[in-house]
Structure 1
Amino acid sequence: MKNDKNIYAKGSLFAALSSVIISLLFFYLRFDFHFDAPLKNWIDTATYFNNLLSPIFLFITIFLLYLTWKDTKLGLEQQNYDNNFHILMDSTSTYLDDLKRKLNKQISDEDEVPIISCVEALNVYYDSFVTDILADNDVCTETYNLLANCDVNFNVSATYLFQQYRQISDERHKTAYKLNLYGTLDKHVFNVMIFFKIGVLEFTFFKHDKPAIEAEIEFLKDVALIAHENEYLKIKPYDKKKLKDFCELFN
């Protein structure tokens, strides 16, 4: 935008100088003005140029004022986006801090293993499943059920984080939001959210809900992969059929 403004400003200056030069040449060729002309001729000449050039300069001035107003308006809008984003990030950070605290709690009253350890274990089972290494399905299912009944509601957390993301319109802020989620939590947490969302997707009876759930899943994938450029990570672990087949073990 700054470069465009400079171009317009230079163009306006060029137009103003061109108008003056063309007007002088036209006047000199038409009236053959001499510097020893009487005062009345000088006054008439000044009136001529004033009437000719004033509208041009007025238009250029209005145009430059419009560009200044537009630039200021865009700046204020960006500032408003930034302020709203900081407010959103404050509320999201509070939510994430509480989520991290819960993830470090024990999985149940009978089992002192932290929830985050079960999250990591379920990811290990999924990695084995993706590479076609048979894992203990009973232990895998037990881990999933423990996570389904712990203090962390992975479905609700995924929906909350996605709805926060939907409020962001600036692309830079969207990327910053995803990076913040990835850095605060862990890819393993988002993978578990994906597992639970696929479970909801496959067993929901309301067709109109499916596009919204699919959008949440794609968002979670983007967050989990935002720090990775490896095509293998982008394709095989998040293959729809692999994910669906894995989640069917628990449902």
Structure 2
Amino acid sequence: MSSFSLTNDSLLGILNIIKFLFSITILLVGILLSENAALTDCDRFFYKPLIWFGVFLLLVSLTGFIGACFYNHLPRMLWVYHVLMFLLIVAGIIFTIFAFAVTNKGGGRLLPGAGYKVYRLGDYSNWLQNRLNNNRNWNKIKTCLVESKVCSDLYSKYWDVSFNKFHQKPLNPIQTGCCKPPNECGFTYVNPTRWVEEDWQVYCENPDCKAWDNDQNILCYNCESCKAGVLDNIKHSWKKVQWFYVICQMLLIIMYAVGCFAFRNILIDES
């Protein structure tokens, strides 16, 4: 093989070493974000696409490296590599667009005089709503919310404050939606996780008012406001990785283009 072909083989090998290191970086980022998810196990599975993307890129880069190093013996390996890279890039672009689409809707609404926002399930994308309305998915998340003691921590932090002071605290979406009843229920405040329903409130139109229970294992975990709070948390979690996906796709497209140029030169030199 001529020196020119060897140069292109070497270029493909170097590119795939870079991709291999890049895939390790993606895996580490995905695992790190997963391990430090805001709700620990609750939203950890939403980082799985990033981890699988890293694993697939690692395997593809190994395929390309082997194909570049042993082209004389495994000429079809580079064809397989380029097809897999193309599919990986297309899948990554589709997922990135999808992630932007499903996290574009929704957000909290400010309350006059309150330090926190309220969240409504209907404000978020139908796809995310359907995921959480699935009983199997929600039961897992609900169990995790109880085990994470997010509401117990809220009680420990503000147990001795008055309602007016509590109303001005900067609660996060989970605390707002899952640890207290919706404001329109009008329940009497005792402490952050204990609210008393008056007799005249039995006809409250919001179904979350009936779902509320002072049992610390129930609270508002069955409320739509709790699902909305979880969705807002998921939305911001996905936002953390969306731009990382975009940067990954841009780098992969550049490396793929350079690799295609080098592979084309190898084929021309072989013909």
Decide: shared fold, TM above 0.5.
no
Task: Give the greater-gyration-radius structure (CA).
Answer: 1
Higher-helix-fraction structure: 1
TM-score (norm: length of structure 2): 0.29
Q: Say which structure, 1 or 2, has more relative contact order (CA 8 Å, 6+ apart).
A: 2
Higher-strand-fraction structure: 2
